Amino acid sequence: MPISAFTNRLDFARTEAVRRALSTSQDAVTASDLLFLEAWEAAPMADVAATLRAGQIRRANPALAAEIRAELSCKRPLSEAERATATGIA
């Protein structure tokens, strides 16, 4: 995949947490999972397959999922202290 196609994915991220995670990954599948998780946290779907997918991604990335939820709820990027609190890394 051309790098320009990947970097455009950063434009789709709503949260700084996902932008940061996307910037460290060149894998298209990982990028898709991160953007899906962010969309799920913003507006959970009542679809069984989507629920299962979100659950798997959240279990694999609990700190990232918590940070996304916190960032979406306060509608701004988190400070370092807030990130540590949200992710349980104090």
In the prediction, which pLDDT does 54 show?
95
- The Cα angle at residue 60 between residues 54 and 63, in degrees rounded to 5: 95
Return the sign of the alpha-carbon dihedral for residues 58, 62, 64, 69.
Answer: positive
Q: Is the pLDDT score of 14 beyond 70? A: yes
Comparison of pLDDT for 4 and 52, the residue scoring more:
52
Q: Is the pLDDT score of 59 beyond 90? A: yes
Mean pLDDT rounded to a whole number for the chain: 81
In the prediction, which pLDDT does 23 show?
87
pLDDT digits (tens, 9 = 90+) for 19-36: 889 888 778 899 999 999
Q: Mapping DSSP to helix (H, G, I), strand (E, B) and coil, where does residue 87 land?
A: helix
Exposed / middle / buried, residue 89 (Cβ in 10 Å: 0-12, 13-18, 19+): exposed
- Asked if 54 contacts 39 with a C-beta cutoff of 8 angstroms, the reply is no
pTM, full prediction: 0.74
Count of domains observed in the chain? 1
Domain enclosing residue 49, as ranges: 3-87
In the prediction, which pLDDT does 37 show?
94
